[in-house]
């Protein structure tokens, strides 16, 4: 068996979900090649070479690949994928955008967002917002898979694997990258944070979210949100946790003013410890919370900050 993992990166470094995807490849077993396709992407390729489990880094360096446009990337991946038994990509917006296009070119039915591997052709994936787990067997010759990063640990580091150049990419002339508005933050990233403080509609405004940010900074936590909070404009879209936002599984998830709709639970119920702070004692979030505190968040959050400052008796 030989596995191709498609690295997600920003040309200078790898995105963290790449490491979880490599771990899934290690579970499958076999030779692992890590493809770094980008423009001026030596930095990312060098980092890729040090990922534990990787036998070889394939580097495709071409201006057409700089911005990760699927139209330009897919034919390149198609041209090398047939040499492999499996092609894996992270189930991030990058992987979700790219891999199905490759699958169509290869005439393969992709398996999305796997959370476990039962055998080289059989995988578990959540469906219906995580309310059911389906085990599916692929009948295709090459398996194309996106990997849920919270279900696999991040791969560690090892001595450098060789880097080989691959060519054959072309500008498809179908699409153009114009620009991006990325959320800049000193806080840890949602999908890799050990602790997340998340706010919902109960926060009532973006100003009030500053309370959560201050609590998060005290805990070294990332800040997340429900869809309702994002829709209301309290925080940017990339804060959204849930079925249609990010899937997270930190050691500690503190849900503040979040009711616990199934679509929200889909994104966080695999967290190790869940704390819910909500003034409605009937709120469904309490059904999944390890520690539930029925309280008004506007009183509870300042008290919590204070309690964190004082040592335990």
Partner 1 sequence: MKVLVPIKRVIDANIKVRVKADESGVELNNVKMAMNPFCEIAVEEAIRLRESGHAEEVIVVTVGPAQSQETLRTALAMGADRAILVEADPAPEPLAVAKLLKAVVEKETPGLVLLGKQAIDGDNNQTGQMLSGLLGWSIGTFASHLEVDDAAVRVTREVDGGLENIELVPPAIVTVDLRLNEPRYASLPNIMKAKKKPLDMLTPETLGVDVSPRLETIRVIDPPARAAGARVTSAQELVDKLRNEAKVI
Interacting residues toward ligand FAD by CB under 6 A: 127, 134, 200-202, 226-229, 240-245, 257-259, 261, 263-264, 267, 278-280, 283, 296-298
Per the CB < 8 A criterion, the answer to whether 141 and 103 are in contact is no
Query: What does 280 interact with, of ligand FAD, partner 1, none (CB < 5 to 8 A by kind)?
Result: ligand FAD
Query: What does 313 interact with, of partner 1, ligand FAD, none (CB < 5 to 8 A by kind)?
Result: partner 1
The partner residues of 164 in beta bridges, in order of sequence, read 58
Helix (H, G, I), strand (E, B) or coil at 195: strand
Q: Which is nearer to ligand FAD, 169 or 191 (CB)?
A: 191
Residue 204 has φ and ψ, to the nearest 5°, of 70, -25
Q: Which is nearer to ligand FAD, 23 or 149 (CB)?
A: 149
Distance between CA atoms of residues 171 and 261, nearest Å:
43
Query: What does 264 interact with, of partner 1, ligand FAD, none (CB < 5 to 8 A by kind)?
Result: ligand FAD
Residue 251 Cβ vs partner 1, minimum distance, rounded to whole Å: 5
Q: Which is nearer to ligand FAD, 84 or 234 (CB)?
A: 234
Q: Which residue is nearest to ligand FAD (CB)?
A: 242
Helix (H, G, I), strand (E, B) or coil at 95: helix
Q: How far is CA 13 from CA 46, 112, 129, 187, in A?
A: 8, 25, 31, 18
Distance between CA atoms of residues 169 and 71, nearest Å:
10
Residue 116 Cβ vs ligand FAD, minimum distance, rounded to whole Å: 16
Q: Which is nearer to partner 1, 49 or 248 (CB)?
A: 248
Residue 74 Cβ vs ligand FAD, minimum distance, rounded to whole Å: 16
Distance between CA atoms of residues 251 and 259, nearest Å:
20
Q: Which is nearer to partner 1, 161 or 248 (CB)?
A: 248
What single DSSP character describes residue 16?
A: T
Residue 100 Cβ vs ligand FAD, minimum distance, rounded to whole Å: 7
Count CA atoms within 13 Å of residue 39 on its CB side: 13
Residue 210 Cβ vs ligand FAD, minimum distance, rounded to whole Å: 15
The partner residues of 143 in beta bridges, in order of sequence, read 86
Residue the block writes with tokens 């787990």: 133
Q: Which is nearer to ligand FAD, 65 or 300 (CB)?
A: 300
Query: What does 1 interact with, of ligand FAD, partner 1, none (CB < 5 to 8 A by kind)?
Result: none
Q: Which is nearer to partner 1, 123 or 152 (CB)?
A: 123
Residue 289 Cβ vs ligand FAD, minimum distance, rounded to whole Å: 12
Query: What does 219 interact with, of ligand FAD, partner 1, none (CB < 5 to 8 A by kind)?
Result: partner 1
Distance between CA atoms of residues 223 and 89, nearest Å:
26
- Burial label for 152, CB within 10 Å (0-12, 13-18, 19+), is buried
């Amino acid at each position: 068996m030989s596995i191709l993992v498609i690295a997600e990166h920003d040309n200078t470094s790898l995105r963290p979900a790449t490491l979880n995807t490599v771990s899934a490849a290690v579970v499958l077993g076999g030779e692992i090649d890590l493809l770094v396709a980008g423009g001026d992407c030596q930095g990312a390729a060098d980092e890729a070479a040090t990922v534990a489990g990787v036998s070889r880094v394939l580097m495709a360096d071409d201006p057409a690949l700089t911005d990760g446009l699927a139209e330009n990337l897919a034919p390149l991946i198609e041209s090398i994928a047939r040499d492999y038994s499996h092609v894996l990509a992270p189930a991030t917006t990058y992987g979700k955008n790219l891999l199905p296009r490759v699958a169509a070119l290869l005439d393969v039915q992709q398996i999305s967002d796997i959370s476990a591997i039962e055998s080289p052709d059989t995988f578990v994936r959540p469906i219906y917002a995580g309310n059911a787990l389906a085990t599916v067997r692929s009948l295709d010759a090459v398996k194309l898979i996106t990997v849920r990063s919270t279900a696999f640990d991040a791969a560690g580091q090892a001595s450098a694997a060789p880097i080989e150049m691959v060519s054959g990419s072309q500008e498809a002339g179908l699409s153009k990258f114009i620009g991006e508005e990325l959320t800049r933050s000193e806080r840890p990233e949602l999908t890799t944070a050990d602790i997340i403080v998340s706010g919902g509609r109960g926060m009532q405004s973006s100003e009030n979210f500053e309370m959560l940010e201050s609590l998060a900074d005290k805990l070294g936590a990332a800040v997340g949100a429900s869809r309702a909070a994002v829709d209301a404009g309290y925080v940017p879209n990339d804060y959204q946790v849930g079925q249609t936002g990010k899937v997270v599984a930190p050691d500690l998830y503190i849900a503040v003013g979040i009711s616990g709709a199934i679509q929200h639970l889909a994104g966080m119920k695999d967290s190790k410890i869940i704390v819910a702070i909500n003034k409605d004692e009937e709120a469904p979030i309490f059904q999944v919370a390890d520690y539930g505190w029925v309280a008004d968040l506007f009183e509870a959050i300042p008290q919590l900050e204070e309690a964190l400052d004082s040592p335990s008796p």
